């Protein structure tokens, strides 16, 4: 019989039979416990990783990233072929970008979506061909656009009338012809498990559908710009296909109108495919989603009597999210009696909102497990918190962990491969952790951890003098 749920636990959190189990879908497929009960990832023991690299530590399972990249490519290739078209998958680098990860996904046949000059530089440093890049952003500077055009970036996704004129000037100077997509707001904003449609979304990205026609007309007049089609991204951590379907229907309406004025060879429907952070999340397999989304586009095209365009997608989280596991060391535990009378166990780890701000920023839910051994205690409702000077510094809001957990134990938080390292900071002068890749029983650093010296290196020191008047 299951123990009774704690009165402070949210309804969705199930008391586990075994607070040491590794819920399938939440962890990389390689996650297991060795004969001593120690967590291992790709055959590498978490205890050995911590001995070699310290804590906190982000561990990224290479085969999990590659496998997911392949699954996306195959699923969309197959779905597109069934409807007589093609599909490209761009990995959204904002989820996690390093030269190594860029190489993995390109090896698996993906392209890369970047959204700043910094991400562009990393992708180029990884040797990704310019032609395999898509460049996003609502405020790309002239310098960033110049760099992109010069690097031969395959597609720039234009976001505003000002950007169109900036690109017109750059291409006029260089003589290049730049392929562009126009980002539109379909009015569908998909939020987690549900989606919400509003006619006039009040946000910064893209062109409202009603204004996009004029933007396309302007692009078509410009000799340096090659209009390739429309782009639309409806949100992130989306579970169903309803939002994609609704958005595609609306965008196809404009796509069909634009065909009257010239070719519209492509349609990019963005990213947003959700992953499991806790056992309560149940994302549909990508094969199913790809099939349904591409079918919805094909049906929309058939209804309008237009050809199915070449499709593109931009998954980020779904490629790297599940591949990442963060390891922490437990520093203190504390049982706090809360007003309602319940007791909540606080478990403090040696990182926090500086390496994973998603809980503090979005109220995101994560899960956790003891990594250095199998706990013998009953499942106890726990909150995993960081070491920062802020009460909102929560890593895992609600989790059942073995009651015998003590300082010195290692704790693993799964599904931290996406949007943790990219959003990490030095808050409270806590150095950012390294990222270590694991594969076939071996490990290697792919992003160096920061040291206190790194932090001090940016401090200009106390001996500086103001420049004399007239100088900077």
The distance of closest approach from Cβ of residue 261 to ligand LLP in the complex, given in angstroms and rounded to an integer, is 25
Catalytic residue among 115, 232, 301, 389: 389
The distance of closest approach from Cβ of residue 442 to ligand LLP in the complex, given in angstroms and rounded to an integer, is 28
Interaction between residue 233 and ligand LLP (CB under 6 A): yes
Q: Which two tokens stand for residue 117?
A: 């000059």
The distance of closest approach from Cβ of residue 396 to ligand LLP in the complex, given in angstroms and rounded to an integer, is 15
Ramachandran category for residue 9: left, alpha or beta (phi over 0 → left; psi -120 to 50 → alpha): beta
How many chain residues bind ligand LLP (CB under 6 A)? 20
The distance of closest approach from Cβ of residue 15 to ligand LLP in the complex, given in angstroms and rounded to an integer, is 27
Interaction between residue 95 and ligand LLP (CB under 6 A): yes
Say if CB 303 and CB 221 are below 8 A apart: no
Interaction between residue 273 and ligand LLP (CB under 6 A): yes
The residue (of 140 and 373) whose beta carbon lies closer to ligand LLP is 140
> 359-398 mask for ligand LLP (x: CB under 6 A)?
---x------------------------------------
Of positions 31, 58, 92, 219, contacts ligand LLP by CB under 6 A: 92
The distance of closest approach from Cβ of residue 138 to ligand LLP in the complex, given in angstroms and rounded to an integer, is 10
The residue (of 229 and 316) whose beta carbon lies closer to ligand LLP is 316
Stretch that binds ligand LLP, among 44-52, 89-97, 159-167, 377-385 (CB under 6 A): 89-97
Question: What phi and psi values does residue 64 have, to the nearest 5 degrees?
Answer: -65, -45
* Contacting ligand LLP within 121-150 (CB under 6 A): 136
Of positions 16, 243, 271, 433, contacts ligand LLP by CB under 6 A: 271
The distance of closest approach from Cβ of residue 364 to ligand LLP in the complex, given in angstroms and rounded to an integer, is 7
* Contacting ligand LLP within 299-338 (CB under 6 A): 314-318
The residue (of 227 and 273) whose beta carbon lies closer to ligand LLP is 273
The residue (of 124 and 318) whose beta carbon lies closer to ligand LLP is 318
Active site residue 389: yes
Stretch that binds ligand LLP, among 42-50, 231-239, 341-349, 394-402 (CB under 6 A): 231-239
The distance of closest approach from Cβ of residue 26 to ligand LLP in the complex, given in angstroms and rounded to an integer, is 16
CA distance 176 to 170: 8
| Three-state SS annotation for the chain | CCCCCCCCCCCCCCCCCCCCCCCCCCCCCCCEECCCCCEEECCEEHHHHHHHHCCCEEEEEHHHHHHHHHHHHHHHHHHHHHCCCCEEEEEEHHHCCCHHHHHHHHHCCCEEEECCHHHHHHHHHCCCCHHHEEECCCCCCHHHHHHHHHCCCCEEEECCHHHHHHHHHHHHHHCCCEEEEEEEECCEEEECCEEEECCCCCCCCCEEHHHHHHHHHHHHHCCCEEEEEEECCCCCCECCCHHHHHHHHHHHHHHHHHHCCCCCCEEECCCCECCCCCCCCCCCCHHHHHHHHHHHHHHHHHHHCCCCCEEEECCCHHHHHHHEEEEEEEEEEEEEECCCCCEEEEEEECCCCCCCCHHHHHCCCCCCEECCCCCCCCEEEEEEECCCCCCCCEEEEEEEEECCCCCCCEEEEECCCCCCCCCCCCHHHCCCCCEEEEECCEEEEEECCCCHHHHHHCCCCCCCCCCCCCCC
Stretch that binds ligand LLP, among 37-45, 87-95, 191-199, 373-381 (CB under 6 A): 87-95
* Contacting ligand LLP within 409-448 (CB under 6 A): 419
The distance of closest approach from Cβ of residue 318 to ligand LLP in the complex, given in angstroms and rounded to an integer, is 6
Interaction between residue 270 and ligand LLP (CB under 6 A): yes
Of positions 68, 111, 358, 387, contacts ligand LLP by CB under 6 A: 358
The residue (of 30 and 237) whose beta carbon lies closer to ligand LLP is 237
- Which residue numbers are catalytic? 389
**Interface with ligand LLP (CB under 6 A):** 92, 94-95, 113, 136, 233, 236-237, 270-273, 314-318, 358, 362, 419
């Amino acid at each position: 019989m299951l123990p009774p749920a704690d009165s402070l636990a949210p309804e969705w959190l199930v008391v586990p039979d075994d607070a040491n189990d590794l819920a399938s879908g939440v962890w990389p497929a390689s996650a297991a416990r060795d004969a001593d009960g120690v967590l291992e990832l790709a055959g590498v023991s978490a205890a050995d990783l911590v001995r070699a690299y310290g804590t906190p530590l982000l561990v990224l399972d290479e085969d999990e990233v590659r496998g997911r990249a392949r699954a996306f490519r195959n699923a969309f290739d197959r779905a597109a072929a069934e409807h007589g078209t093609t599909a490209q998958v761009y990995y959204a680098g904002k989820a996690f970008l390093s030269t190594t990860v860029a190489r993995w996904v390109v090896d698996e046949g993906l392209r890369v979506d970047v959204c700043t000059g910094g991400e562009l530089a990393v992708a180029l440093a990884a040797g990704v061909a310019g032609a395999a890049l898509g460049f996003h952003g609502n405020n790309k500077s002239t310098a960033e656009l110049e760099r992109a055009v010069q690097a031969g970036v395959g597609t720039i996704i234009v976001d505003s009338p000002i950007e169109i004129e900036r690109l017109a000037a750059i291409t006029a100077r260089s003589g290049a012809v730049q392929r562009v997509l126009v980002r539109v707001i379909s009015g569908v904003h998909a939020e987690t498990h549900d989606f919400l449609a509003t006619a006039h979304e009040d946000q910064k990205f893209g062109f409202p559908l009603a204004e996009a026609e004029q933007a396309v007309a302007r692009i078509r007049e410009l000799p340096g710009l090659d209009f390739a089609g429309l782009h639309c991204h409806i949100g992130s951590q989306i579970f169903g296909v309803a939002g994609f379907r609704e958005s595609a229907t609306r965008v196809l309406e404009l796509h069909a109108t634009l065909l009257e004025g010239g070719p519209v060879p492509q349609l990019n429907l963005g990213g947003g495919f959700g992953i499991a952070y806790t056992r309560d999340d149940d994302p549909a397999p990508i094969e199913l989603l790809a099939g349904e989304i591409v079918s919805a586009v094909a049906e929309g095209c058939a209804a309008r009597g237009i050809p199915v365009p070449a499709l593109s997608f931009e998954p980020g989280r779904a490629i790297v999210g599940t591949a990442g596991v963060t390891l922490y060391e437990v520093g203190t535990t504390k049982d706090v009696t809360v007003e309602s009378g319940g007791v909540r166990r606080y478990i403090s780890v040696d990182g926090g909102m500086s390496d994973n701000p998603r809980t503090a920023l979005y109220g995101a839910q994560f899960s956790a497990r003891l990594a250095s051994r199998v706990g013998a205690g009953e499942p106890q409702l726990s909150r995993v918190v960081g070491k920062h000077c802020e009460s909102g510094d929560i890593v895992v809001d609600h989790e059942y962990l073995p009651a015998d957990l003590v300082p010195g134990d290692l704790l693993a938080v799964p599904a931290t491969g996406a949007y943790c390292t990219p959003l990490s900071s030095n808050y409270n002068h806590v150095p950012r952790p390294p990222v270590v890749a694991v594969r076939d029983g071996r490990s290697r650093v792919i992003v160096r951890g920061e040291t206190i010296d790194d932090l001090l290196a940016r401090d200009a020191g106390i001996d500086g003098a103001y420049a004399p008047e007239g100088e900077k």
